[in-house]
Chain A
């Protein structure tokens, strides 16, 4: 294969996304001329207030909810924290002091549950990264306050049977929350059809800026406040609104959910081309389910290679990606997600996540596929672990 000119390829859309020009245009007035505080009585303030309500309606429409069920927050993590902590604070006095979640949730959920001081059960996932709804059912107790299962996993992209899990929760009379930060714009979501009571989402994963998120919550289940103060968001979430961010989120979610089947059809084709071709390299494995998978997610382990050096090598080729290796997580252990689906530490250290988007072109995919094999060969050639793997084969 002839070597092409160095390009810049952003393949880390599960980490964050580019702010789209359309979204930037929509939010710009609220960073410049429309700076009024939405709580103010005069026209300048009212303009901001109207803009927020317009955005609220857009977010609601995107997931089949009512505007009154949408509360703006600062990010997905805040939404997760609020849903769990606020629900426990509300229901613990009524004897509901237990949470059911899964072992491979995002840390925003997992650490919240582990640190909140209440009882919890972590449901295991299978080797493909799928959750069996019956296991959720078995984990629900008399005193369960809330079940929280992520819609789609951020690392390996598996999409869970959310409607079925929601049905089980409702039959048991338990609140069902889902972290849909990765799913929004990639999966069609209807909170009513899918039996969802609470849902966390974030702007910066769908081409809005960082610093804005939302929690969908049924009116009868609003958690106790996480942030007290003024009367913003119906007195449920204090703090002067991030007007520009909220407007951006409204526009971004409108764009992201406009034609999901079309996006999924196009992007999953590119994803499958990446997966099929990368798996031709020996001693590799796909992490996560091949079918029940986010359209932009590729997660592959390369035996004998360490993830961070793989990322640095790809960065040298202009490719931005991420890994579940310990070195990139800042801890000794590799990703809890990869360990939860049964990978050994050795194999988990050598994982690569590429997350492509509607911005990714066929040429981008070809470029990535041209650059990965020599990078892997180079790192394996200097790896004593690879030497051992090859020696064991003989």
Chain B
């Protein structure tokens, strides 16, 4: 009876940056080995060939490099938007919906206003409109959370599907050609409302907008008074209240920012890359971004690395799948495996395991 276990674990007080990085690197290496094993098992490919194909798929040509960058930017933008909400421990699972609503507003502007206002005004209107759309979509659940403590995880989750139906509702009116049940490329001839190419680079403005947001969010969370309030509310509701912080106000303000940035991500998707809208415009990025924001512990610069890493693997896996005529969902499996390992790695960062001494 009552045998002492061999090990016991305890919470770490702190951890050095070097150790933290080492743990993550170890997790990623393990994940890559498992991923390669899965791929080798499925398609009998030489394991080294797997890594080469992944690299090729993500960075093999300048076109592929830019697609990888483009997708990284969108994922990063959503994650940056989620950062303040999650830091406040407000479980905004509704990014997918907020992105879609932002995208719908952008598309609506492109369709209805393209021949009424000059292009610059149009794009600014789209930007503002998508931000407001995402903001409203984010504020609805927050209003109920702030006043009646309604569970925000489940509320925001449901809002995603309402947003999807809003999109399909709009597609009924916008479909082009009629009967195709899709919107097609909007303003293909005039390119009105498209973020313009600069020096031949179609994604210049995407880079600019997301970079500004990333840096601004870092400063906001780390150095502003409001960012500090977010952190206090995240630590403990009661502490915040005793310190004289108006918790409802902080909650509403933070989610307004969060929703607006997610809405802007929708704008970037519609105006800056897809030039169309469908229910799969967000394509699960709203969910993946949650994981990015969480892993990076709300540090927006670390998010760049994580977002890039995930998109890199996704593109690579898609490449392998197409080489072998398998379907592209292979990339979700890889993504899942990597995430499992990264999530598991967090344990070793937060806790230490020691051998029990007699």
Q: Do A and B form a real pair?
A: no
